[in-house]
Amino acid sequence: MRRIAGWLGRILLALLVAALLAPSVLPPFLDRIYYRGPVSDHFNGARFFNPDGEQGTGGGQRNRALLTFILGEDRVKWPDHVPVTPSRPPARVAGEAMRVTWIGHSTVLVQTQGLNILTDPIWSERASPFSFIGPKRVRAPGVRFDDLPRIDLVLLSHNHYDHLDLATLERLWRRDRPLIVTGLGNDTLLGWHDIPARALDWGQVLAIRPGIAVKSERVHHWTSRWMVDRNRALWTGFAVTLPSGGNLYFAGDSGEGDGSWAVVAARDGPYRFALIPIGAYRPRGLMSGNHIDPAEAVAAFEKLGVQDALGIHWGTFQLSHEGVDEPPADLRTALHAARIDSARFRTLEAGQSWDIPPLTGSLP
């Protein structure tokens, strides 16, 4: 038995190494051209890039972090399942009232102004191109798909498998025909699967209804479906202008970079509410250019000038080395250090809802 386990371990290690070396060993026909357009401060004519640099640790230290990640050193074991009590949201929430339900990972239902908004929807068991391997869900969706109210708007931040889940998007499109808004190039990928979407460049605005508009906001990340197609499509956050009660911000997925993305996005406030990622941050030498940690999430919260926020991107798929419930604990520590009331920047259990108060004249 031990011999079999040893061989399985070696095979898994070989697969991980192969995946990391994929850009240099995969055949070029796996590349995809999702977008063609003029050169800009974040597009070189072929691929998108972070104008504030890749940031993070480089050189030997980053290589050591990569080796540590592959070998699983210091990787906290997650449970196979975390108990979830699914809820059933209302069909609509009218006027200035705002109800937010965490479904899991970066999937959140925001209901306000009679509009049902869903972020990065994933109901699949794995965040992977394959059904038999890849990060597996440990928290079931907090709302069963069939209990999901009719969705009007989907905000799709980028094309990584834990954010752009084709199986879920196909079901949503067949059922509800929502407006899907995403970054440049991701509309092409969706179109190949007969799912229409509107693609925005950073800074572009799309009117949804009178008094309601979506703006694409710069964040610090990257994109890929098959490694060789790295950065062929754009990653983005979103600011949603609402007619009253304060605006909504969704950070998508972001590393810290130079931190200016949150400062720029703050100009499109004032924000009543924000969705900010807090998970998948260890080992820090490897993850710093990809994901903010809870302390950096608190710094972004302050830069955005937001009244209330929900911590997302944690506790659903094991993408890094921290424990399944470690991000909320680290978030509370960071909030205490910054002297911010933890009631203003919360985490929820999958299926739990939060009724967000209207924006007040001044923040605490």
pLDDT, tens digit (0-9, with 9 covering 90-100), for 219-238: 999 999 988 999 999 999 99
φ, ψ dihedrals at 336, nearest 5°: -60, -45
Average pLDDT over residues 122-144: 95
Q: What pLDDT sits at residue 276?
A: 98
Q: At what angle do helices 2-20 and 59-71 cross, to 10 degrees?
A: 140
Q: According to the model, what pLDDT value does residue 363 have?
A: 59
Concatenate the DSSP letters of all residues of 51-110 into one string. Answer: TT---S--HHHHHHHHHHHHHTTTPPPPPS-B--------S---TT-EEEEEEETTEEEE
Distance CA 139, CA 82 (A): 5
In contact, 243 and 272? CB cutoff 8 Å: no
The set of residues, in sequence order, having a beta carbon less than 8 Å from that of 63 and lying 6+ positions away, is none
- Render 232-272 in DSSP notation, one character per residue: SS---EEEEE-SSS-EEEE--S---TTSHHHHHHGGG--EE
pLDDT in tens, 32-58: 899 999 999 999 999 999 999 874 443
User: Which single residue is written with the structure tokens 């070396």?
Assistant: 21
Residue 104: closest CA among 351, 344, 356, 273:
351
Report pLDDT for 300: 98
Q: What is the pLDDT of residue 131?
A: 85
Cβ distance 258 to 54 under 8 Å?
no
Q: Name the residue with higher pLDDT: 67 or 360.
A: 360
Instruction: Look over the chain and give the mean of its residue pLDDT values, rounded to a whole number.
Output: 90
How does DSSP assign 97-149, residue by residue? -EEEEEEETTEEEEEETTEEEEES---SSBSSSSSSSS-B-SB--SS-GGGSP
Amino acid at 131: S
Percentage of the chain modeled with pLDDT above 70: 85
**pLDDT score, position 53:** 85
Q: pLDDT of 138-195, one tens digit each?
A: 999 999 999 999 999 999 999 999 999 999 999 999 999 999 999 999 999 999 999 9
Q: Average of pLDDT values for 65-73?
A: 54
Tokens for 196, please give them.
Answer: 């229409």
Q: How far is the C-alpha of 175 from the C-alpha of 353, rounded, in Å?
A: 24
> 23 falls in which pLDDT band (50, 70, 90)?
very low
pTM: 0.90
- Residue whose pair of structure tokens reads 């949201």 in the numeric block: 89
Q: Which CATH architecture has domain 98-356?
A: 4-Layer Sandwich (3.60)
- State mean pLDDT over 327-349: 98
Contact at 8 Å (CB) between 296 and 220? no
